[in-house]
A = this chain, B = another copy of it.
Amino acid sequence: MAAASWSERVLHLLNRMNNFYSAGSCRASCVRFEVDGAQVGWIRPHVAALLSRYPQVFTCPRGGAVSLCQGLDSYEGRSEAVHAVLLALREEDCLTCLRGWRDERYSVMPRFSDPPVMWMERAATSLFGVKRYGVHVNAYTVSDGGEVSMWLARRSSTKQTYPGLLDNMAAGGLAAGVGIKHTLVKECQEEACVPEDTAMTARPAATVSYTYEDEEGVFPESQFVFDLEVPVGFRPRIGDGEVQDFYLLSIEKVKELLASDDFKPNSAMVVLDFLIRHAFVEPDSGLWLSSVSRPGSV
């Protein structure tokens, strides 16, 4: 068999990152997770079965949805009740994703613009298919001759997720109550020692959204993407130890790498979007938007 072309490999990546919408995914067997009548996630059957052991917190699946019990009608009340269940499940050690417990709170809401209805431990969000939001930073330089190069990070080999893979220069999840700009500046400072005034020059560039499933759950995610042009002489430095190295690479090299298994998949999508917006990949390549064009999604 001929080796897959670059486009084919990238398309494969995009499809994999949206496999929740593929034929044969668990979607048909999932129930909706609803809070106050609005969907905030997806629950797989084996998780729904576990939750049914906590009838004081979760309703049985009804009309294709699991809800929180009546009386759990406040932000803190819902959050604490669900958290207690998650602590018990973690104790049982029956769900591998809870081994990656973070002690980080993520907001749960139907849409990003809605007020949060509760918070949830980050490591548990995939059990409930709750959407997570993050910030990614495409850092790049433009030489006097107009040549664009990109700064990439190699993740520390001790990271819980995707250890040792290539990543954007800086990226991080949106914790409960923390804004987009704040997260941008914080991740730039902590991961790459980028001064605040440099980070603040980053331009809001795109949102990249996808929904994948794997053995640990359902992952609907949207990333707020910033482009940050840095001076040619600038060098990011290792900060909090989440990164083991930084590389300044030509666009050709970045293109080659993003289609390889050496790249954190969602960050590869973010870089692909950069390459399209900066005219390094053709609009008619079939790779623009291909990940978000199913009729079952928007």
Q: Which residues of A contact B (CB under 8 A)?
A: 11, 14, 18, 21, 23, 32-33, 37-42, 110-113, 129-131, 133, 179-181, 184, 203-207, 209-211, 220, 222, 224, 276-277, 279, 282-284, 286-298
Pair A23/B37 contact, Cβ less than 8 Å? yes
**What is the total number of copies of this protein in its complex?**
2
**Given that A39-B294, A293-B131, A298-B21 are contacting pairs, would A279 and B222 also be in contact in the complex, using a CB cutoff of 8 Å?**
no
Pair A112/B286 contact, Cβ less than 8 Å? yes
Chain B contacts of A220 at CB under 8 A? 295, 298
**Given that A204-B277, A204-B279 are contacting pairs, would A113 and B290 also be in contact in the complex, using a CB cutoff of 8 Å?**
yes
**Given that A112-B289, A284-B179 are contacting pairs, would A205 and B295 also be in contact in the complex, using a CB cutoff of 8 Å?**
no
Pair A295/B181 contact, Cβ less than 8 Å? no
Query: Which of B23, B180, B282 is the one whose CB lies under 8 Å from A38?
Result: B23
Chain B contacts of A23 at CB under 8 A? 37-38
Tell me the complex Cα distance, A7–B33, Å. 28
Query: Which of B14, B205, B209 is the one whose CB lies under 8 Å from A292?
Result: B209
Considering residues A37, A42, A295, which has the most beta carbons from chain B within 10 angstroms of its beta carbon? A295
Tell me the interface secondary structure of chain A in the complex.
Answer: mixed
Considering residues A11, A14, A204, which has the most beta carbons from chain B within 10 angstroms of its beta carbon? A204
Would you give 19 A-B contacts (Cβ < 8 Å), ordered by A?
A: A39-B296, A112-B289, A113-B287, A113-B293, A129-B295, A131-B293, A131-B295, A180-B284, A181-B283, A204-B276, A209-B298, A210-B298, A211-B298, A222-B289, A222-B292, A224-B289, A294-B298, A297-B298, A298-B298
Shortest CB–CB separation between residue A184 and chain B, in angstroms? Answer: 8
Chain B contacts of A298 at CB under 8 A? 18, 21, 209-211, 220, 291-292, 294, 297-298
Q: Output the nearest chain B residue to A211 by Cβ-Cβ distance.
A: B298
Pair B292/A207 contact, Cβ less than 8 Å? yes
Pair A289/B207 contact, Cβ less than 8 Å? yes
Tell me the complex Cα distance, A192–B220, Å. 40
Chain B contacts of A184 at CB under 8 A? 283
Tell me the complex Cα distance, A222–B179, Å. 27
Chain B contacts of A295 at CB under 8 A? 32-33, 39-42, 110, 129-131, 220
Q: Output the nearest chain B residue to A212 by Cβ-Cβ distance.
A: B298
Chain B contacts of A293 at CB under 8 A? 111-113, 131, 133, 209, 222
Tell me the complex Cα distance, A204–B39, Å. 33
Chain B contacts of A130 at CB under 8 A? 295
Query: Which of B110, B203, B276, B296 is the one whose CB lies under 8 Å from A294?
Result: B110
Shortest CB–CB separation between residue A126 and chain B, in angstroms? Answer: 12
Q: Output the nearest chain B residue to A210 by Cβ-Cβ distance.
A: B298
Q: What 5 A-B pairs have minimum CB-CB distances, sorted nearest first?
A: A113-B290, A112-B293, A297-B298, A179-B284, A180-B283
Chain B contacts of A211 at CB under 8 A? 298
